[in-house]
Structure 1
Amino acid sequence: MKLYYIAHARIPTEKAHGVHIMKMCEAFAGEGNDVTLLVPKRKNEITENPFAYYGVEEKFAIKYVPMLDLVGNPLFYWISQLSFSLSLLFQKIEDGDNVAVFSRDIFSAFLLSFRNRRVFFDIHGFPEQSVWFWKYVLGRMKGVVLTNKQKLERAKTILKIPEDKLLVHPNGYDPKLFDIKKNKDELRKELGLPDGTIAMYTGHLYSWKGATVFAESARFLPNVSFIFVGGTSPKIKAFKNKYQDSNIHFLGHKPFHEVPKYLKAADVLVLPNSGKSFGRRTTHSLYDTSPIKMFEYMASGVPIVASRLPSIEEVLNEKNAILVEPDNSKNLAAGIERVLDYPSRATQAIKDVEGFTWQNRARTILLFISKRS
C-alpha cells in the first residue's frame, strides 16, 4: 500500500511528537508499505539528519512542503498551518484502492478528504475549542485513531463518531533502542552522571507535565540527585533561577536515540503529570495523553513513580509502578523513597510494556485501514 503520513511539525524536533511521527513512519514501512512523510519546510536549529537523530532506519521518504514559516503568536501559527494545508493540494498525492492518507493535522485532513477517498486521522489531544469544526471534519474521515480509552466515549458522544470508525491504540516504544550492553555504572561514567541515588525526569519542563513538582520534591530528599534530561534553554534558565537546590541538575536536551542510556543509568524514573487545568490543556494531562516516555520508562527496567491520573492508569498500576497524588511534591518524594525500597515493580513493567511497540501499533492501524476500506 502507498501511505502518505501528514504532519504539521518541524522535523527533526526536540518535542515528543517528532518521535511519534518518525517511529510510526518507520513501523508502517516495516510492514512492507511505501511510505512518504509530508511535513512543512521550516527553519530548524537542529541540522542533524532526521533518521540519525531519531535512530530510525531510512525505510521511507521525507518530503518538505513549502509554507509560510511564521512564528510569534497564535494567529501566525494558524496562518502557517493553513498555508501548509493549502500547499499540500499542489503536491502529488495519489488516490486509489491501494492508497491511504494518515494525518495528525486537522486542516490537511479536511482539505485532502475532498480529493482522497481514504483519509484517516490520529487524535492525540481532544478538541476543546471549535468542536463543531472537528465534528464535521472527523465525520468525513474514513477512520479515526485514538491514543487512549479515555477519549473513546467523548469521541462517540461529543464528536458523534460511530464506534466502528474508531480505533483505540496507545503510543509506544522501540525495543531496539533499549538493547544496551553497558551496566548502570558504566553508563554513568560514559554520561558523566553523579554517583549515588538518581531520580530522573525526561522531557520538556512544562507545568502540565509536572516538571515543577519534580523540582520542588528535591528539597525533601537532599541525598538524592534530581536530574532533568530535556527542556529548552529559556526554560532551563528559568528553572535554574527558581530551583537552586544543590541536588538538582539540568542536563539539557539530548538526541532521542541517546535518551535510553540516561534512563538505564537512573535509579528511579518520574512521570509527575499534573491534574490541574492549564489553558487549552484543560483535560490533556488528566484524560488525553499517552506519554511516549511512560512506555520508554517501562522498557528501561528502572522503577517508576507516576501521578495517579486516569490517562496514566490505563497502563500503569500498583503492580508495575508507584502511583502518587498529582501536584504534591511531598507525596512525590515519598513515592520515590518507597519505590527505591521495592524495585521489583520494574520487572513487571518490562513484561507489561511488551505489547506497546511502534510495530504493533502500526500493524493494528493497518488492519483497521484494511477493514475500513
Structure 2
Amino acid sequence: MKLVEKCKSFVNAPLWKEEKSLWWVWILTGVVYALIKFFIGKYNNYKIFKYVFPHSIEGLTIYGEYPAEYYDSNQYGILFSALIAPFSVLPDWLGLVLWITANTAFLFYAIKQLPLSTSQKIFIYWFSYIELMTAQGVQQFNISVAAFIILAFVFIEKKKDFWAACVIMLGTLTKIYPIVGLAFFFFSKQKGKLIISGIFWGALFLVFPALYTPGFDYVISQYYEWVAQLQLKNGLNLFAEAQNISLLGVVRKLSGSEVYSDLWLIVPGLVLFFIPYLRISQYKYLSFRMMLLANVLLFVVLFSTGTEASGYIIAMIGVALWYICSPSEHKKYNYWLLVITLVVVGLSTTELVPRVVRAGFIRPYALKAWPVIVVWLTVCYEMIFLNFSRKPLN
C-alpha cells in the first residue's frame, strides 16, 4: 500500500502540471531516443533526410535510390533541403539529436501559442506524448507538420496573416500536408493580405533552393519528380501494413479491393468537412474555431494513403482539442471515447501488444485508425448540429 501511495503521490506531483516540466520531458525524451537510435544504428529516416541537402547541391535527383547511403527514398520537396541543411553538415550523432529536439521544440512552441489555459495545454502535452515518442523514435518530420498546421491557425487568430501564409507555404512545399492550413481562410479578418502574402511566400520558397543548387531548371525538375514520386508512393501504399493507416486504409484493407477510387471516400469526407462552414453565426465562438483546427488535424491523417504510425502525433492533438472544445452534454460518451482512443492508438503498435495480435489483426486492418475515425465523425456531428456558445473558451 505504501508503494501505491508513493506512486500516486509521484504522478500527482505539481511538477508534472507545469509547462516547464513538460518542456524538459518532451526534449529529454527526444535526446534519449536520438542517442539510442544512433548507437544501435537504426536511424535510416534521418539518413534519408540528411542526404537530401548534399544531393541537391550536387545536382543529383533527391528521389533516387542510394543503397550505399540508405534504403527507401525521399518523399519531401526540394525546399526540405534548406530545412535539413544545418543538421546534415554535422556528425550523425549530433545532427540526429538536434534534428529530433528541434522538431519537438517547434511543436511544443506551437501548442504553447494556442489560446487555451495552461491546464488545457498540459492536457494536450500529456495526451499526445505517446505518439510524440513514436514519431521521435523514427526521426519523423510529422512532428513539425503538426506545428505548421497549428501555427497557421494561431497566426490567423492573432491577425498575423503574413506569418500564417509563411508557415502554410513553407510546410506545403516541404511535405504537402500543411496545405490544409488554408482551411482557416474564412476565419481571417485580413483575407486580402493572406492571399497576397501566400503569393509572396510561395514565389520566394519556390525559387530559394536555386541559390545553392545548380539552378532554377534543376529545382523545377525536382518538383516534377516529386509529383511523380508521390503518385508512385500512393499506389504502393494501398495495402501496405506500415502505411495507409487511415480511414481510406481501413476501407481498402477490409474490402481487399483495389479497383475503386479513394475519391468515393474523400468526396463525402470533404462534404462533411465543409458543411460547418455554412454556420457563419458560430464563427464568433473560439471553441467552434478551435474545433475546426481539431477537424483539420484529424482529416489530414484519416484521408491520406501515406499515413503511418508516426503521423498520429498530428491526430492525437486533434483528439485532445476535440475533448477540450466539445460543447456536447454527453460527457460520459466523450470521456470513454477519449480513453479508448488513447489506449488503442497509443498501444496498438507497441511491443506491449503481442506480436501475433499486431501481425494478425492490428496492422492488416489498420486498427489504429478506428477510434480516431469515430472521433472525427463525432467532431463533424458536433460542428454541424451543436451550439458552441455553451462552451466558452475565452
TM-score class, shorter-chain normalisation, is under 0.3
User: Normalising by structure 2, what TM-score?
Assistant: 0.25
TM-score by length of 1: 0.26
Name the structure with the higher helix share: 2
